[in-house]
Structure 1
Amino acid sequence: MNYRQIETFYWAARLGSFAQAAARLNATQSAISMRIQELEARIGVQLFDRSQRTARLTPQGTLLMSHAEEILLASDRFLHAAAEKEEIVGYVRLGVAEIVALTWLPRLIRFVRENYPRLQLEIEVSLSHLIEEKLYAGTLDVAFAACEMSPSRFVSTPIETIQFAWMCSPDLAAVPEVLTPKRLSELPVFATSREWQFRGSTLTWLTTNDVHFRNVTICNTFRTAASLAIAGLGLAYLPEQLYRAEIETGRLRRLRSDPEPSPLQIYAIRPLNAAAPTHLLLEKAAETILAEPVVGANAVADK
């Protein structure tokens, strides 16, 4: 559950239409529907009566509407309080997963420079299990990664979900169209980590389906894994939003899995007892830029 989903719920309910909410938030109607579905799945409550032509709230949705409004107002108050840019001074050691570095990290850095010029970031791009270790060791202050940290020591706020899929070269004829865990275990794989070092839904999928790679090459970056997959040397587990062009042009083939893996959840992670306002500020900055539409050559589809 994240700010963007709550904001979408609020405006869809207030305007009485998913289409009008899409126009208000500068998003597609399908993106609005997906955000609502993700929020309903996360909280286990149906917010809208789907039998109506308008975006009509269920009784549970009506009860939650006031809470959504409080969250939006609190966010506005936070941004207003942070308007005095020169008061935000600090140095933050920030860990980010590769998927973050390759997608919205440049926008985060631009946002920080424009709004908090006296906030200095030391950024380390690494695998989630290594970021996890450094958070526990105290050598990182904040992180954006798939780590699932102990709630007794850290605050982990979900900020983004990312769909991954197994991919390979179309020329790799031995790979079936539907990939089962047993078949996957037998095929050559390029992975960014060993099985036990994955985190989140990826580790859950591998563990639940008892996947043990027999022919795996560890190459620790998506770019390397993707290039080796494109060369026809094996399979790679890649974020769909980064490799849509390769799929559309036929350089990569997206494989269907049975069962399909769940999207990977990215968290904003900070120590529970961290007193520095810069830690919370970075979390809110990430939520702000993820709620904004992406335009230009590097834009990826809104989820």
Structure 2
Amino acid sequence: MNHRHIETFYWAARMGSFAQAAHRLNATQSAISMRIQELEARLGTALFDRSQRTARLTPQGVLLMPYAEEILLAADRFRQAASAKEDVVGYVRLGVAEIVALTWLPKLIGLLRSMYPRLQLELEVALSHVIEEKLHAGTLDMAFAACEMPQSRFTSSPLETIDFCWMCGSVMLEIPDVVTPRSLSELPVIATSREWQFRGSTLSWLTANDVHFRNLTICNTFRTAADLAMAGLGLAYLPEALYQNDLEAGRLRRLRSDPKPIPLQIYSIRPLTGAAPAHQLLENVALTAIATTSGKFQPPTKPNDEPTS
């Protein structure tokens, strides 16, 4: 399965005809039919209803159509970025949330150095509410964070969603397997912000469920929060994928939430006025970095960390 198969499927479905898709792609109708058959064979499912006179999608074909469009749009952005790389010169003050810095930020910087060597970044890793304030003040040009900025001044494009959950150290046997808003108010909590400083779905969950922490320790990094949780000092709300190794090794215990929290949405945030071409390119490269890093990130280790048995 390759780009040509996806492209053929997309245009045959959109134009409702193999013949018109052949004309659009400068191919023969038999070539179009062959590509569709090859794609169906690779996927193990029929994409078009052969009993119809037109190229009508099966339910499975309808399900896959948005993904095909997404792939083609990404390929188009990739081609545009490649053709424009010699023209991109500039300096961008970029704010990033900690979860971005710990996952795909290194990949983003590597791609930028190879594709746009004359584009310079000034990075600021900070909590989302701090990034939000600096975007408003104009001391950051754009950001990759969970901020929800006013549409009258900024454009926000979804980049990725991240699953979070409550975790505690395996030594905290007194902590129930299921935590509720009421129990959170009584339990020791390690948080990276005060309640009102959270952003996105995390703040929405806290607000909707009227959560008020009475025994709260505040730190400003996930790593510190995780270390304190592993030491048995409280619960921490952490990104699941980032601490999968600690969960599997038994250093942390995953807790279920009732009600279940909503995944955190990370946005690319750019100002509506004064935006530079480099801002859109950065967003495109970020999407590529996310796609090529997904599932591969590891938590940072400190130089004096000892292996556990």
TM-score normalized with structure 1 length: 0.77
Report the CA distance shift for 1:113/1:166 in structure 2 as closer, same or farther (over 3 A).
same
CA offset at residue 74 of structure 1?
4.9
What residue number does 1:80 align with?
79
The alignment covers a number of residue pairs equal to 256
User: Matched residues in 1 for 2:43 and 2:155: separation?
Assistant: 35
1:251-286 Cα distance to aligned partner (Å, 9 max, x none): 000000100101000000000123310011100111
1:34-92 Cα distance to aligned partner (Å, 9 max, x none): xxxxxxxxxxxxx983xxxxx2327xx87x68xx64x6555444433332423110000
**Range that drifts further, 283-292 or 259-268:** 283-292
User: Matched residues in 2 for 1:284 and 1:119: separation?
Assistant: 14
Q: Is residue 56 from structure 1 mapped to residue 61 from structure 2 by the alignment?
A: yes
1:139-189 Cα distance to aligned partner (Å, 9 max, x none): 001100000110111010001000000000121122111101100110111
What residue number does 1:247 align with?
247
Report the CA distance shift for 1:297/1:272 in structure 2 as closer, same or farther (over 3 A).
closer
CA offset at residue 287 of structure 1?
0.9
2:61 is matched by which residue type in structure 1? R
Report the CA distance shift for 1:228/1:295 in structure 2 as closer, same or farther (over 3 A).
closer
User: Matched residues in 1 for 2:164 and 2:223: separation?
Assistant: 14
Q: Is residue 162 from structure 1 mapped to residue 162 from structure 2 by the alignment?
A: yes
Q: Rg bigger for which structure?
A: 2
User: Matched residues in 1 for 2:272 and 2:58: separation?
Assistant: 35
What residue number does 2:229 align with?
229
Report the CA distance shift for 1:245/1:16 in structure 2 as closer, same or farther (over 3 A).
same
User: Matched residues in 2 for 1:48 and 1:287: separation?
Assistant: 30
What residue number does 1:175 align with?
175
CA offset at residue 100 of structure 1?
0.3
Q: Which runs of 5+ in 1 are unaligned?
A: 1-6, 22-46, 50-54
1:124 is matched by which residue type in structure 2? E
Report the CA distance shift for 1:234/1:85 in structure 2 as closer, same or farther (over 3 A).
same
User: Matched residues in 2 for 1:296 and 1:237: separation?
Assistant: 21
| Matching of residues 292-303 of structure 1 within 5 Å | 292=292, 298=298
1:215 is matched by which residue type in structure 2? N
Give SS of 2:62's match: coil
* Structure 1 segments (4+ residues) deviating >6 Å: none
User: Matched residues in 2 for 1:248 and 1:75: separation?
Assistant: 34
User: Matched residues in 2 for 1:79 and 1:178: separation?
Assistant: 44
User: Matched residues in 2 for 1:208 and 1:48: separation?
Assistant: 40
Q: Which runs of 5+ in 2 are unaligned?
A: 1-6, 14-35, 46-56, 300-309
Give SS of 1:236's match: strand
User: Matched residues in 2 for 1:20 and 1:235: separation?
Assistant: 45
CA offset at residue 95 of structure 1?
0.2
Give SS of 1:287's match: helix
